Amino acid sequence: MPRRALAFISVTVLAFALSACAPASKPPLVPSATGADPVVTVQVVDNRYEPSEVQIEAGQAVRWVFQGVMEHDVVAEDGSFVSELVTTGEYVHVFEEAGVFAYDCSIHPEMTGTVVVR
């Protein structure tokens, strides 16, 4: 097989592999809460949330601190909190109601976390 054909196939396979990882549709961004005083901090590293589960009381806030070399975000399954894709900075969300809120990273599906609000 000619080298050019091989290169074309490689690029095609790579493009497919990358598109397979891309989020189908990310919900609209929810701005980081200002003036909140978070009671817990979740470190966002490559490629996990540390800790992956936190428990708070209704009305309290969670802070995510982005520390990865790669970009990550925080996307609630129900769209109630959605951060930008970043490598640094932080994101804060106030949880007004009790419940179990699952979230993940839009480009790394293996990164999952849960906020339990009592």
Binding site for Cu ion (CB under 5 A): 72, 105, 108, 111
Q: Between residues 59 and 109, which has the closer beta carbon with respect to Cu ion?
A: 109
Contact 110, 47 (CB under 8 A): yes
Handedness of CA 55, 92, 87, 70 (dihedral sign): positive
Supply the minimum distance, in Å, between the C-beta of residue 32 and Cu ion. Answer: 17
Closest approach of Cu ion to the CB of residue 16, in Å = 20
Work out the burial of residue 104: count CB atoms within 10 Å of its CB; fewer than 13 is exposed, 13-18 middle, 19 or more buried: buried
Shortest distance, CB of residue 72 to Cu ion, whole angstroms?
Answer: 3
Nearer to Cu ion among residue 56 and residue 105 (C-beta): 105
Single-letter code of the amino acid located at 108: H
Cβ pair 65, 74 in contact under 8 A: no
Give the residue with the Cβ less far from Cu ion, 64 or 117.
64
